[in-house]
Chains A and B, each alone.
Chain A
Amino acid sequence: MNSYIPNSLTSILELAAILIFTVTTLSAVMSVFITKRNGLIFLGSQTALLFFILFIARDWVQPLFFPKSFDSVEDFGQVVISVSIVSIAFAVTILMRIFVWEGSVFVRGNTQVPGLLVGLTNAFIYLLAILIILQFVYGQSITALATLSGAAAVVLGFSAQSTLGEMFAGLALSISRPFKVGDWIYVDGLDEGKVIDQTWRHVQIRTRNHCVLNVANSVITGKSIRNFSSAQGKIRICESIHFNQSINPSEMQTLLQDEIAKSNIVLQNPPPSVLFKGAIDDKFEYEISYFIDNYEHKPIKSDALWKLIVETIHQSGYGLAVLSK
């Protein structure tokens, strides 16, 4: 019989905790395996607890279970507490994902948090964990490391100036959020399009003709951005239409307004409107304004609306003067 077998209430409770957390850790691993992503938070917390208990009970666990794998209790203790700290960092990143990135803090509608912000935060959390391990577990002064990393930062900063610039511009964009992935935007001087991704270096915009614009983060930061996907998701479209001066403007307004309102092409609230704008050359000009909920559908909506107008005019017997937008 081994003389290290638990022989006190404390060590008995430690053994119970080790067995319990071994089972829960194992089942968390199996659960993650079965359900893909589910249970990662259990995995992180259970592993952290298991290794923490192993650390507390290291005095009898190492000689009893790992007499050959580790030279001394201290070695064993250092390894298990390090694993525990890394597991805590893992659990924190998962918690961040559940409660911050995918949780209530950042999610409004179908918003997606850019991978850039998540990646940077996770890297920071793991870096912190490693620094804690170095400083408190292995007793390495991180002052030296900090100096070293300071020097490294200078070198890195000069050699990767533009890349780092892009990164910080990207970070600024992520935090100030003038647009999000999925929004329709127009950046000064570029084609309008839908934001499909935001990376370390650039924002990807897919235009109406399906080519992808890769715009550097720093370029976007410096320009004015028109975001068509507003908070309420409604955007107003204005189009002009011209008729002969012989037609009574009030009659025309009522006719068009009623027909547009009757059709289900555009949003009813706020209601579509037709405004008389006066005479241009020898024609009367009217402005049709209406709201749509998705800017991506603008061409289709416009197409349907114009077909409706032409048909209406045709049936009413009036004639269009000039069809123009």
Chain B
Amino acid sequence: MTTTPSHSSPLVGVAHTGLAKYAGLFSLLGLAISAVVVGEFSGWNQGLIEGGFGGMLIATLLVILMYACLCISMAELSTMMPYSGGAYAFARAAMGPWGGLIAGLSQMMEYQFALSTIVVAIGIEVDSILGEMFGQSFSSPILWCGIIVVFLLLNAWDTKLFFKSAIILAIAPIAVLVVFWTLAIPQFDMKYLLSVDAAAGVSKWLPNGLVGIAWSMPFAIWFFLSIEVVTLAAEETKTPKKSIPRAFFWAFIILAIAALLTLILNAGIAPGASVVGSSESPLLLAFKTLIGGQVPLVMLILLIMIGSLASFHSTMYAAGRALFSFSRAGYLPSTLAKLSVKRGTPYIALILVGVLTFLLAIFALLFSKKISAIALLLNMSVLAAVTSYIFTLISFVILRYKHPKIDRPYLSPLGVTGAITGLLIALMTLILMFTNSGYQLGLLGCLIIFALSALYFKLRGQSLNGNAPEELFANTLKLNSATQDNINNDLYGEAA
């Protein structure tokens, strides 16, 4: 690990960090879409039960607004700090080591927990395929192990291989979705959309009333969850200034269209919103309706599995990079930040991610009878994600306010207003999650992890590595602001 601060200003950043610089616009786009895409395949549908189609539609539109603001704000932050730290880097620069700790932990939890739930889902899918084909079932831990090893190799082997496979794993699930939309359009019927039961005299669009919109919000987040993975790839991007804002823009546009079409068409064909809402795999249900008679079930499950595989691939990348940057900065033992010298991938961090994924999946298996451990991990992942969004957006506002003059290669056109818009919706979603009993256990879990980590961090005595690019940026920023006097006057200089 060599970091050479070539300049005293953080704007110039760190010239060489050891991670291979490979990614361009399409690599980032592939990364973002493949990481999110499982959310278009499943997970979102329970929102239909909570809010009815109308509630879910409104929630989705609000979530689209939130992610638009988030993406555009993250594009500014990420081009300003093109390091692999993501939310941690932003919060560290704006709020100091403790802010960095919470934000970094949140994003690590988000990806790590998501990873273990996806591996369980893939396990179930593979198992059912094998069951269909050979009539026998494998033990889940063996399947998980196999899946983890395959994707670990894809991730750790070579940055180029990783991004190339991410592009393929983004195109394939989008192609599946396009096939689904094309087949579904002729079968669309309004009566299916409004099939969620409503009491007599109550709106069919909002069977649970206005509060139903609020209940749907956490599920609508599925359509975009993990799009922020782009920020973690900044350090490996050839020209972050150009590629990152464009990648965010196109990923957002593609996913927003996918979200709306999937929501309307999946709920708008037989068997209708009420059945889709309570399904484990809404897209499989839809394919069964559309082409169930002509295509064997194994094929359909394979189609659905593409989404899970894609997200597993890119989420593993994200979890690895989050862990890597966190340990490079000294929050975790620095041995974890070792890079594979030849290939430019943080292989030790990735192996640890693989092991943790396996252990968490085993944990879920052991406790599956008493509590739904998978649901718990899933909820904690979403909670952690929303927490990291909140930290990111607050960091955006703080940096705009405190350091209006530092060089921003890309300037968010929505500015502080946009960041606060995203922040308000994210806060609203977080608060609504707390009121939902399903999330309370997850919240407790998150809080325990935060508390334990804070204790560990305190006991270790904050021995951070000042050479890590995120730390270097934050420290130089602090130094600069100490010598800068008329900072508030400069606010007037900014474009409204």
Seen from chain A, the residues whose Cβ lies within 8 Å of a Cβ on chain B are: 1-3, 5-9, 11-12, 15-16, 19-20, 23-24, 26-28, 30-31, 34-42, 94, 98
A11 to B57, CA, bound (A): 12
Give the Cβ gap from A282 to chain B, nearest Cβ, in Å: 60
Which one of B202, B400, B401, B421 has the greatest number of beta carbons of chain A within 10 Å? B421
Q: If the complex has contacts A31-B420, A38-B415, A38-B491, are A5 and B400 also in contact, measured as CB distance less than 8 A?
A: no
Residues of B near A16 (CB, < 8 A) are 57-58, 61-62
B477 at the interface (CB under 8 A from A): no
B374 at the interface (CB under 8 A from A): no
Q: If the complex has contacts A24-B421, A38-B416, are A5 and B62 also in contact, measured as CB distance less than 8 A?
A: no
B397 with A34: CB separation less than 8 A? yes
A1 with B201: CB separation less than 8 A? yes
B12 at the interface (CB under 8 A from A): no
Residues of A near B204 (CB, < 8 A) are 7
A-B contact count (CB 8 A): 93
B492 with A24: CB separation less than 8 A? no
Give the Cβ gap from B191 to chain A, nearest Cβ, in Å: 13
Q: If the complex has contacts A3-B201, A16-B62, are A27 and B57 also in contact, measured as CB distance less than 8 A?
A: no
A28 with B417: CB separation less than 8 A? yes
Q: If the complex has contacts A1-B209, A30-B420, are A40 and B203 also in contact, measured as CB distance less than 8 A?
A: no
A24 with B417: CB separation less than 8 A? yes
* B205: contacting residue among A1, A8, A20, A37, CB under 8 A: A8
Q: If the complex has contacts A12-B58, A23-B421, are A39 and B415 also in contact, measured as CB distance less than 8 A?
A: yes
B425 at the interface (CB under 8 A from A): yes
Give the Cβ gap from B441 to chain A, nearest Cβ, in Å: 29
Chain A: CB-nearest residue to B57? A12
Give the Cβ gap from A281 to chain B, nearest Cβ, in Å: 58
B496 at the interface (CB under 8 A from A): yes
Can you show 30 pairs from A to B with CB atoms below 8 A apart?
A: A1-B203, A5-B202, A5-B206, A5-B209, A5-B210, A6-B203, A7-B205, A8-B205, A15-B58, A16-B57, A19-B213, A23-B62, A23-B65, A26-B420, A31-B417, A34-B397, A35-B400, A35-B401, A35-B416, A36-B492, A37-B491, A37-B496, A38-B415, A38-B417, A39-B416, A39-B417, A39-B496, A40-B496, A42-B414, A42-B417
B388-432 contacts to A, CB under 8 A, are 397, 400-401, 414-418, 420-421, 423-425
Chain B: CB-nearest residue to A1? B202
B54 with A6: CB separation less than 8 A? yes
Chain A: CB-nearest residue to B53? A12
Chain B: CB-nearest residue to A41? B496
Give the Cβ gap from A97 to chain B, nearest Cβ, in Å: 8
A94 to B401, CA, bound (A): 22
* A6: contacting residue among B205, B417, B420, CB under 8 A: B205
Which one of A27, A41, A42 has the greatest number of beta carbons of chain B within 10 Å? A27
B421 with A27: CB separation less than 8 A? yes
B44-72 contacts to A, CB under 8 A, are 54, 57-58, 61-62, 65
Chain B: CB-nearest residue to A64? B210
Beyond contacts A7-B206, A12-B206: 14 other A-B pairs, Cβ-Cβ < 8 A, are A1-B209, A7-B205, A9-B205, A12-B205, A15-B58, A16-B58, A16-B62, A19-B58, A23-B62, A23-B425, A24-B65, A31-B416, A34-B416, A42-B417
B65 with A20: CB separation less than 8 A? yes
B485 at the interface (CB under 8 A from A): no
Chain B: CB-nearest residue to A27? B420
Q: If the complex has contacts A20-B65, A37-B496, A41-B496, are A27 and B417 also in contact, measured as CB distance less than 8 A?
A: yes
Residues of A near B54 (CB, < 8 A) are 6, 12, 15
B491 with A36: CB separation less than 8 A? yes
A238 to B486, CA, bound (A): 42
Chain B: CB-nearest residue to A5? B203
B206-238 contacts to A, CB under 8 A, are 206, 209-210, 213
